[in-house]
């Protein structure tokens, strides 16, 4: 009865969707446990790209249970659009289950997200303006509306009226923007409620039965470690905990249920939005990584910031998440580079650091300690065994594993499901 958590070990966009999709072939259920529609996965199967925002990557398999856990914030409009999009491509979403304890993203959350970001000016966070932060704010403030509330018209109507009155005060009097009309929002969301009703269940009970029946369960993280609200580069983070511990809290299971934690690592480093980035490149190598890797946001289309692989940050990620294995993605993007660098440490005021500083002021002044590697200048996209990889590629991977202190589990050499080298069977 193996259960595996797959999460991002960097700043997101590592290719978690592809790794989850690959492992989902052996799983009985795939569970998304955090975040909202600000996340984006792209999965390529037989040359067809599927762009997912809320739906778990296992939705491409008709025989898998796909769960949106209580830790996810649900935008009904987005999830219904995704379901319709999948159905148009012949993907049946009847095995999708949404937690009745998950919180609902409402129109005022998106508007407040936008207005708050605009008000920050040069100090902006770089949010996707998907309403995620304001929704989690309401959840923590105990003002949130959950999916179970949405399905009870009288309960929803009362909560919406109270919340909207308060939010309209902020929207109009602080930001000078137009208010929302209660009747319009009520009517729209009651329609969503009926369309979502068939998918809503107590997902904790479903998971409990899956474990009791010794089924294989795959937990899918959104965003990544350095976007974690507690352990990331705060405040340039998301509003939830994408780290491994939240696989339990965000899905309603105990920690004894988790067997392995896999950190997905892009073979270089990218991030979207503001905040420090120690290995960021502003030269031809950075542009090469962006264009060869098509590093543009799945949700926003924004160009991603690109840099050399930071293995020192992965050591921190390994500790925070309790990583058992690494899944390396996009190694093929480095194929044409004659020289490749890897950050193996940080130097601050002339001293090498043993840890990543919490202070962003210090982190902004850190210098990367690089090691340089000879490139392999070979197309590796057809490699299917580790031994098929060029010697220089293996040297790069093995040094990465050594610095991070985590064993290699998977190496991806292309976007398609079959372009995957498995070193450890995880499910």
Kindly give the pairing relationship between strand 73-74 and strand 103-104: parallel
Q: Annotate 294-342 with DSSP letters as a single string.
A: T-B-TTT-PBPEEE-EEHHHHHHHHHHHT--EEEEE-GGGGTT-SEEEE
CB under 8 Å to 379, separation ≥6 — which residues?
A: 332, 335
C-alpha–C-alpha distance, residues 8 and 275, integer Å: 18
Place of tokens 């064993």: 407
C-alpha–C-alpha distance, residues 241 and 248, integer Å: 11
DSSP designation for 269: E
C-alpha–C-alpha distance, residues 411 and 171, integer Å: 48
Q: Output the CA–CA distances (angstroms, integers) from residue 154 to 148, 149, 415, in the order listed.
A: 12, 9, 47
C-alpha–C-alpha distance, residues 105 and 188, integer Å: 13
Strand order in the sheet with 260-266: 200-201, 96-99, 65-68, 29-32, 217-220, 3-8, 260-266, 325-329, 407-412, 420-422
Q: Output the CA–CA distances (angstroms, integers) from residue 128 to 55, 110, 113, 298, in the order listed.
A: 18, 10, 9, 11
Beta-bridge partners for 340: 373
Q: How many CB atoms lie within 10 A of CB 346?
A: 22
CB under 8 Å to 76, separation ≥6 — which residues?
A: 104, 105, 150, 189, 192, 193, 195, 196
C-alpha–C-alpha distance, residues 424 and 138, integer Å: 42
Give kind and range of the element (H or E) at residue 45: strand 41-45
Note if 109 is an active site residue. no
Residue in 21, 28, 41, 228 annotated catalytic = 41
Place of tokens 């060029």: 390
Note if 13 is an active site residue. yes
- Reference 33, options 1, 63, 74; nearest CA is 74
Catalytic residues: 13, 41
């Amino acid at each position: 009865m193996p259960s595996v958590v797959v999460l991002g070990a960097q700043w997101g966009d590592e290719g978690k969707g592809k790794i989850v999709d690959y492992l989902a072939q052996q799983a009985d259920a795939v569970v998304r446990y955090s975040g909202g529609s600000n996340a984006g996965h792209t999965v390529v199967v037989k040359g067809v790209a599927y762009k997912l925002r809320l739906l778990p990557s296992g939705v491409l398999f008709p025989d898998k249970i796909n769960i949106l856990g209580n830790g996810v914030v649900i935008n009904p409009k987005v999830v219904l659009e995704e379901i319709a999009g999948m159905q148009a491509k012949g993907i049946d979403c009847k095995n999708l289950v949404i937690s009745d304890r998950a919180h609902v993203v409402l129109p005022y959350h998106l508007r407040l997200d936008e207005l708050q970001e605009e008000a920050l000016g040069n100090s902006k966070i770089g949010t996707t303006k998907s309403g995620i932060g304001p929704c989690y704010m309401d959840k923590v403030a105990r003002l949130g509306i959950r999916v179970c509330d949405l399905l009870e018209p009288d309960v929803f109507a009362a909560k919406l009226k109270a919340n909207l009155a308060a939010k309209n005060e902020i929207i109009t009097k602080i930001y000078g923007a137009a208010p929302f009309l209660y009747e319009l929002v009520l009517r729209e969301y009651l329609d969503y409620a009926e369309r979502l009703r068939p998918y809503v269940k107590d997902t904790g009970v479903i998971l409990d039965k899956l474990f009791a029946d010794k089924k294989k369960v795959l937990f899918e993280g959104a965003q990544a470690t350095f976007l974690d609200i507690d352990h990331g580069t705060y405040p340039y983070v998301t509003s939830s905990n994408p780290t491994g511990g939240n696989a339990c809290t965000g899905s309603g299971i105990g920690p004894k249920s988790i067997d392995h934690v896999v950190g997905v690592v892009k073979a270089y480093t990218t991030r979207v939005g503001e905040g420090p980035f120690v290995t960021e490149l502003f030269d031809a190598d950075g542009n090469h990584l962006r264009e060869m890797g098509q590093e543009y946001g799945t949700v926003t289309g924004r160009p991603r910031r690109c840099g050399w692989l930071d293995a020192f940050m992965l050591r921190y990620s390994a500790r925070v998440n309790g990583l058992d294995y690494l899944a390396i993605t996009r190694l093929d993007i480095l194929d044409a580079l004659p020289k490749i660098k890897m950050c193996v440490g940080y130097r601050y005021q002339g001293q090498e650091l043993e840890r990543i500083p919490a202070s962003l002021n210090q982190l902004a002044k850190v210098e990367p300690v690089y090691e340089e590697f000879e490139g392999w200048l070979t197309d590796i996209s057809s490699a299917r065994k580790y031994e098929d990889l060029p010697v220089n590629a293996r040297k790069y991977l093995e040094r990465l594993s050594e610095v991070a202190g985590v064993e290699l589990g998977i190496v991806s050499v292309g976007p398609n499901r079959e372009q995957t080298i498995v070193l450890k069977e995880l499910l």
